Structure 1
Amino acid sequence: MIPQRSPRFAMVAGEASGDLLAGLLLGGLKARWPGLQGFGIGGPKMAAHGFEAWWPHDKLAVRGYVEVLRHYREISGIREQLAQRLLAERPDAFIGVDAPDFNLELERRLKVAGIKAIHFVSPSIWAWRGERVRKIRQAVDHVLCLFPFEPAIYAANDIPATYVGHPLADAIALEVPRAASRAALDLDDTHQVVAVLPGSRRSEIQYIGPRLLEAAAVMQRRQPGLRFVLPVAPGLRPLLDPLVAKHAAGVDLQLLDGRSHEALAACDVTLIASGTATLEAALFKRPMVIAYHMHWLSWQMMKRMKYQPWVGLPNILLRDFAVPELLQDDATPAKLADAGLAWLDDPPRCAALVRRFDALHRELRRNTAQAATDAIEKVLAA
């Protein structure tokens, strides 16, 4: 039953991408219920909508089996404390935003206790770890899906789900603000610009950052006129500065505090870590080279479980190697540089990619905040 008062939602979003998605969702929820209360684990995008973060989102920003094991005690301790507090607070609903390894077990406990559990962003059961669908069935009352093919998977497993589109497709304009972004970054139209996006997690910076920075150095040597921009996620500047000094000394590289959307809008090509940022790059219609590198043991475990030939979201959605993926041992500076320069040397190939990304953008544009809020309202009323 929908409460007569403004609802109280508990939410958990891990890392920068989850904070971004949750912030966009909160915008829709606040439009429906201006007096709602939100609390749990989140970041600055959520805080901008009045969300009360009991723990910061970056506490959960760990990827890879080995890396998670190193932080397991702290993360499981946070989850236990949060569960106890939410069982006492009894919010009208819990909304887990991505972070399935953390959220699904928490959602299961809350659902058993009679608290509505909603998961926003389907775990990638169509790409790997498909057995998790059983845990999802036990854990959630409803799944909010970002991609159009996902609800059918859940329907086949008796799990209520709704396609709500991707909020980034609403937030990012169909027409790329290239000139304005270049002006904001002090880049003129004569520059060829490469955006370097090594990820928003510390582990990604450590494993992927050096490779992308060395690739930038190779590209600079081959084409001295290139300009590079690197958006830095909050709190990661002390980690990146020494890597830049070591691996990209002499590169015409501008470090930005955040501003990843300006960097993507302004660039001609991006060297980018696999993850949500690759979808952002596709929505900005940018050619890209997707890279990933992790601890060797995490990689061995992960590659045995994946079901599809693609890792990057743009390729998964287009069901094609529309953009190059250089993963693990293939993610060498030389190969990354070659692939990046190949885009700059082939305008017709870039134009064809823009057309495909534009069609994808329009398919994912569904006013996600409103569609998700409508679905959440129905869950509350059930």
Structure 2
Amino acid sequence: MPVRVMIIAGESSGELYGAMLAVRLKEMWPGLLLLGIGGEKMEAAGVELLSTISSAFGGVGALSSIRHLIASYKKVKDIFRTIRVDVVVLIDFPDFNLKVAKAAKKSGIKVLYYVSPQVWAWRMGRIKKVAQRSDVIAAILPFEPEIYAKEDVRCEFVGHPIAEELKTHVVDKDAIMREFSLDAGHPIVGILPGSRAGELNRHLPVLIDTIKILKSRHPEFQYLMPIAPNLAIGEFGQMFVELAALDVKLADGRAVEVLSVCDLAVVKSGTAAFQAALIGVPIVVIYKMAALDYNIIKRIIDVKYINLVNLIYDAPVVKELIQEMAVPEAVADELIKLYEDDDLRNETLEKFKRLREIFDQKNPTNRVAELIADLIA
């Protein structure tokens, strides 16, 4: 009988990891039946989609989202009842995936949790639940196995798929410099405010004023900003008019390509900030959210840092300017420190280099595929 694996991802980054894994699994087992929940990337990689839950994100409405999730969960349970699934691979998305894990265990199906929930940040009580409902946890951060050490579950640090993707990402820096008419003799500052409309509305006013300050103090700086491909620039009106007036060059997506030519960057906390560190670009991290949301989050999240670099080092390697601290003067000052202070910049880059070495030793997709094979065997 063919091997049957189900992969469930709930958002774009997880879906990318699922697609990478699907390609590797197809190489290992050409007759493999791959089922799952995800999006276009996973489908293109050979996953037969039971449902797509990416549509349950991005403001389609709470009621619509809940109905979609309930329907998706029902389809998964129906599959568990009708065909033999060897392993279910769960990628992040804990509120949905932990329910799937419980149903899988009841059906005698092996569960591998890839990109486990951030139990170290909030809702620590989920540690036991994740452990009890998983046969193996494939951790993407080096400190996570210690968190699960007291639980009766195998947890292994496999590396981060972002680092794996960067290793295979070939960038023609000269072509990018030509495309955007950038001068190699002058510093390039990356502006990465985020990819969602809300993030741009909160971050762009701060960053526009930051650029104005930088221009007065370092007129030689050049500015490059990636824009999410599906973003409607017209929705942001005057802000993009101001960016054009400040000679900020806009790139359609391609955050990795943008970062590869930058000497400095200011980045919204998240994936791009981790990519910048792995590429070796000194950064200042910012993040702003609605005041009510921030006050709620502040009460339930228990971490000293929000940036992965700082979390891994358990030290303030990267400057974080959060909420009321994220003001133009502070952002400009921190960027200028990184530019003018050779010791600070070199120390930061050395720590980024050591971080990259940790992850370069790993190949998460291959290792997760091997763990799946172990579970099947």
TM-score range, shorter-chain basis?
0.7 to 0.9
| 3-state SS of paired residue (1:108) | helix
1:239–1:305 CA distance, 2 compared to 1 (3 A): farther
1:1-382 matches, cutoff 5 A? 4-15=1-12, 17-53=13-49, 58-61=54-57, 71-90=61-80, 91-173=85-167, 179-180=173-174, 181-183=176-178, 185-238=180-233, 242=237, 244-245=239-240, 248-365=243-360, 366-381=362-377
SS of aligned partner of 2:148? helix
Moved over 6 A (4+): none
Identity %: 30
Pick closer, same or farther for the CA change 1:226–1:140 going to 2, 3 Å. same
- Aligned counterparts of 1:173 and 1:49: Cα–Cα separation in 2: 20
Q: Which runs of 5+ in 1 are unaligned?
A: none
Answer whether contact 2:223 2:249 (CA < 8 A) is retained. yes
- Alpha-carbon distance, 1:284 to partner: 0.4
Question: What is the SS of the residue equivalent to 2:267?
Answer: strand
Q: Which has the higher contact order (CA 8 A, sep 6+)?
A: 1
Instruction: Tell me if structure 2 keeps the 8 A contact 1:193–1:268.
Output: yes
Given that residues 6 and 33 in structure 1 are in contact (C-alpha distance below 8 angstroms), is that contact kept between their aligned partners in structure 2?
yes
**167-176 vs 5-14, which moves further:** 167-176
Q: What whole-Å deviation, never above 9, does each CA across 1:51-85 have from its counterpart, x for those lacking one?
A: 455655643546xxxx8xx9432322222111111
**How far has the Cα of 1:96 moved from its partner?**
2.3
Q: How many residues align?
A: 371
| Structure 2 Cα separation of the partners of residues 221 and 46 of structure 1 | 47
Query: Root-mean-square deviation (CA), in Å?
Result: 2.8
Gaps of 5+ in 2: none
Where 1:124 maps in the other structure, the secondary structure is coil
Contact 2:222 2:248 (C-alpha < 8 Å) held by counterparts = yes
3-state DSSP of counterpart to 1:155: coil
- 1:9 partner letter: M
How has the CA–CA distance of structure 1 residues 197 and 40 changed in structure 2, closer, same or farther, with 3 Å as cutoff?
A: farther
Look up the SS of the partner of 2:245 in the other structure.
coil
Structure 1 pair 295–270 and aligned structure 2 pair: CA distance change class (3 A): same
SS of the equivalent of 2:137 reads strand
Whole-Å separation in 2 of the counterparts to 1:60 and 1:314? 30
Distance 2:96 2:351 in 1: 35
Query: How far 1:89 sits from its partner (Å)?
Result: 2.6
**1:14-46 per-position Cα deviation (integer Å, ceiling 9, x unaligned):** 13x223333333333233234444444434543
CA deviations on 1:344-374 (whole Å, 9 max, x unpaired) are: 2223322222211111111122111111111
Q: With structure 2 as the length reference, what TM-score do the two structures score? A: 0.87
Q: 1:167 to 1:185 in 2, by over 3 A?
A: farther
Q: Distance in 1 between matches of 2:351 and 2:172?
A: 18
Q: Which moved more, 1:138-147 or 1:320-329?
A: 138-147
1:110 and 1:266, CA in 2 relative to 1: closer, same or farther beyond 3 A?
A: same
Tell me which amino acid in the other structure corresponds to 2:373.
E
Distance 1:89 1:380, change over 3 A: same
- Checking the alignment, whether the CA contact within 8 Å between 1:14 and 1:41 is kept in structure 2 is no
